[in-house]
């Protein structure tokens, strides 16, 4: 039984794209924490989310890993390196070496360290050209997992998130339904009985015309792509003034899930 869980990472684990009714983010890690808490005696589960959007691997290692070591939980999820891989000129081999050093530290602390692969970006125009680079990094993550006995949350093979409805309007972060499917896949990675299949088929949708698609693309570029590029050019991060959620009550998370979308 997992009685304590600490989530480390960037916007993906913080839960960007999955806001609750009060504006506070939920996300796959919070949803996964509820799945774990439901399998513990009342009051016997502790959960802390230290993830902050925009963080690079070295920032996660410097800011979040020591806090996770101090907490010494039963489970740590460690998702890092994705923002590094997206940066021009980054070397997935070098990123993987630094990732492995962090995993070595974490596995000395936690009973289990869950590591995560990157998504398959073949359907994302902005990042399609990075698909080979992401695949290389994923290969390293799997090799590190084998060496340290870590379960793997394999996002590359999660076909259901190839659907547009799995993504937020910014096309960079998951939607509530996308986060839900990842939470279910995380449960499967740890051998937890989950209430639904993360690969369940999406409901059919009516076909969309070329004009509708083009209009959406123009809106996306204006509202999301241009500001994203601007931050990169200015050397800014979306997480510069964001603090981590910290310790969360599963009951508080359940309230937000009921208001947004159920775990299943």
Tell me the average confidence (pLDDT) per consecutive run of 10 residues in the chain, 264 residues long.
96 95 92 94 90 96 98 98 93 98 97 97 83 97 98 97 91 92 97 95 82 67 68 67 89 80 58
Strand-pair category, 246-248 with 46-49: antiparallel
What is residue 127's predicted lDDT score, i.e. its pLDDT? 81
Three-class DSSP labels, the chain: CCCEEEEECCHHHHCCCCECCCCCECCHHHHHHHHHHCCCCCCCCEEEECCCCCCCHHHHHHHCHHHHHHHCCCEEEECCCHHHHHCCCCCHHHHHHHHHHHHHHHHCCCCEEEEECCCCCCCCCCCHHHHHHHHHHHHHHHHHHHHHCCCEECCCCCHHHHCHHHECCCCCCECHHHHHHHHHHHHHHCCCCCCCCCCCCCCCCCCCCHHHHHHHHHHHHHHHHHHHHHHHHHCCCCCCCCCCCEEECHHHHHHHHHHHCCCC
Within-domain flag for 215: no
Q: What is the Cα–Cα distance from 25 to 9, expressed in whole angstroms?
A: 14
What is residue 35's predicted lDDT score, i.e. its pLDDT? 94
CA 235 → CA 192, 229, 230, 238, distances in Å? 41, 10, 9, 10
Within-domain flag for 230: no
Sheet holding 112-116, edge to edge: 152-153, 112-116, 75-78, 4-8, 46-49, 246-248
Within-domain flag for 151: yes
What is residue 151's predicted lDDT score, i.e. its pLDDT? 98
What is residue 171's predicted lDDT score, i.e. its pLDDT? 78
For residue 87, give the nearest of 120, 122, 54 by alpha carbon. Answer: 54
CA 221 to chain CA centroid, Å, is 23
**Radius of gyration for the alpha carbons in the chain, expressed in angstroms and rounded:** 18
Within-domain flag for 227: no
What is residue 228's predicted lDDT score, i.e. its pLDDT? 65
Domain count, the chain: 1
Within-domain flag for 177: yes
Within-domain flag for 228: no
What is residue 42's predicted lDDT score, i.e. its pLDDT? 75
- Angle at CA of residue 53, ends 228 and 168, nearest 5°: 65
What is residue 82's predicted lDDT score, i.e. its pLDDT? 95
- What contacts 257, CB < 8 A, 6 or more positions away? 26, 30, 31, 34, 263
Within-domain flag for 234: no
Q: What is the Cα–Cα distance from 110 to 168, expressed in whole angstroms?
A: 32
Predicted TM-score (pTM) above 0.85: yes
Structural domain boundaries enclosing 68: 4-199+239-260
Within-domain flag for 63: yes
What is residue 257's predicted lDDT score, i.e. its pLDDT? 83
Q: Which CATH number covers residue 47?
A: 3.40.50.1110
For tokens 């590029």, the residue is 229
Tokens read off for 142 = 């799997």
């Amino acid at each position: 039984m997992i009685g304590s869980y600490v989530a480390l990472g960037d916007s993906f684990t913080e839960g960007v794209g999955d806001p609750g009714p009060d504006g506070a983010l939920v996300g796959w890690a919070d949803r996964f924490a509820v799945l774990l808490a439901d399998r513990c005696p009342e009051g016997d589960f502790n959960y802390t989310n230290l993830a902050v959007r925009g963080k690079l691997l070295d920032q996660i290692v410097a800011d979040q890993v020591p806090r996770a070591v101090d907490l010494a939980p039963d489970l740590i999820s460690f998702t890092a390196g994705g923002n590094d891989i997206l940066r021009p000129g980054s070397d997935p081999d070098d990123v993987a070496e630094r990732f492995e050093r962090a995993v070595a530290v974490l596995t000395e602390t936690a009973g289990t360290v869950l590591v995560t692969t990157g998504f398959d970006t073949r359907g994302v125009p902005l990042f399609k050209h990075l698909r080979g680079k992401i695949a290389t990094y994923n290969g390293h993550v799997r090799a590190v997992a084998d060496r340290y006995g870590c379960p793997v949350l394999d996002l590359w093979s999660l076909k259901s998130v190839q659907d547009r409805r799995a993504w937020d309007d910014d096309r960079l972060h998951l939607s509530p339904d996308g986060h839900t499917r990842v939470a279910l896949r995380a449960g499967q990675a740890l051998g937890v009985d989950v209430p639904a299949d993360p690969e369940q088929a999406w409901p059919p949708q009516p076909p969309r015309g070329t004009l509708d698609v083009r209009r959406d693309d123009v809106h996306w570029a204006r509202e999301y792509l241009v500001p994203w590029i601007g931050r990169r050019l200015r050397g800014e991060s979306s997480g510069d003034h964001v603090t981590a959620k910290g310790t969360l009550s599963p009951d508080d998370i359940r309230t937000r899930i009921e208001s947004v979308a159920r775990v299943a």
